[in-house]
Amino acid sequence: MKMIDGIKFVAFDLDGTLLDSVPDLADAVNKTLQALGRPEVTIAQMTTWIGNGAEIMLGRALSRSIEVDPDLDPALHREARQLFDRFYDEGGHRQSALYPGVKDTLDALRDAGIPMAIVTNKPAQFLPHLLAQHGIADYFVDVIGGDTFPQKKPDPFALHWLMEKHRLAARELLMVGDSRNDILAAQAATCYVVGLTYGYNYGQPISASDPDIVLDHFSQLAEVVKLGS
């Protein structure tokens, strides 16, 4: 397996990378659609619509397509977002689960003295509860949501912010994610990037976005960053 030398910091996406969250997202979206008198969507559809933040995800659900209808009523879209936020919060995220190997690998990275952060397009308001609920809040020195900054992935702003804050060279930072937004953000920031095959990437193989390394299992990450070397 290919290894990367000199990594001093690792940034992780959340949904589809650390956490299988599509059941809870689909449940909240379907409750939103029911409240609006719209037909429900399937888990399979939702899996291809996640990754660009709640606004675009809801636009896709209302449009029933990965391409948001340009004529979608803005007032309807705003109402959908308000409903979704309420239903997603009330649902308690009880159907979401960490992927296999996540905690053990985070433990290994922490034990090796490598700081970590979350860089996700999920709204920041949901992150503290989600991370605490799944027992991973204490691993991360920074938690960046999709609305923490004006720009979200694939914009590299959050990665540049991490590099500046922690005084990192670009090639000392590793981004780990499951979608092309993660890959594009890392490439724009000129940092290393690992793409995971098991997450949510609009129905496309993650290898098509040309990450530095493609992994099938989260636990393989410990080999990539050469822990203990």
Catalytic residue IDs: 13
Q: Which amino acid is at 128?
A: P
DSSP readout, 186-225?
HHHHT-EEEEETTS-STTS-GGGG--SEEESSGGGHHHHT
The strand pair at 213-215 and 192-196 is best described as parallel
The count of residues in the chain is: 229
Q: Which residue type does 48 have?
A: T
Which ranges of 36-156 would DSSP assign to H, the alpha helix?
A: 43-47, 54-63, 74-90, 102-111, 127-133
Q: Token pair of 216, please?
A: 């099938």
The radius of gyration of the chain's CA atoms, rounded to the nearest angstrom, is 17
C-alpha 72/C-alpha 9 separation (Å) is 41
Do 130 and 23 form a contact (C-beta atoms < 8 A)? no
Phi, psi of 119 (to 5 degrees): -130, 100
The answer to whether the beta carbons of residues 225 and 10 sit under 8 Å apart is yes
